[in-house]
Structure 1
């Protein structure tokens, strides 16, 4: 089964919130556990460059999973992801754009 690479683009207007969200993503692969083990292979976030082509998206999060099942667990059951969503959701301008593909 191929790895899954997921990109999530956010429209977060406040640079301080962006920096805090980036910090939260920096420890996500250590904080997120499934069946008592870490399951996210890579998690990081960066601010987007200010450019008209960015279409208002200000932060990009990249996560890599071993499988689609792991990504589904991340979306529906992961407590570490739930904590990040609780922080980010009230601070975004519209829903994020999520894209994923095989590695």
Structure 2
């Protein structure tokens, strides 16, 4: 499994609209092949910045499968209008189970 890490800068003042649109968009991404889970976090110091984390079976499932699909077009249609700048996206490999102490 890999984790997509995307920093999303949202136009100031549109955060609530973005969050409502994301509630719809997560249903779209959840139907993608190779999708495992999605989490959205909001910045504390920078409340117009969000951290999107998505678990994928592989980088290819994200970059080829999802990004090459009609579902990706719908995903961007829902949340893209709120972006203040293009998202900064990277992929990370999971090294082990989440440690909770």
**What's the TM-score bracket when you normalise by the shorter of the two chains?**
0.7 to 0.9
| Pairs aligned (count) | 91
5+ residue gaps, structure 1 = none
Q: Which residue of 2 aligns with 1:27?
A: 27
Between the aligned partners of 1:47 and 1:26, the Cα distance in structure 2 is 15
Query: After superposition, where does 1:14-93 map in structure 2 within 5 Å?
Result: 14-28=14-28, 30-32=30-32, 34=33, 39-49=34-44, 51=45, 54=46, 58-72=49-63, 73-77=65-69, 79-93=70-84
The offset of 1:46, in angstroms, is 2.5
Per the normalisation by structure 1, the TM-score is 0.71
Q: Give 1 or 2: higher helix fraction.
A: 1
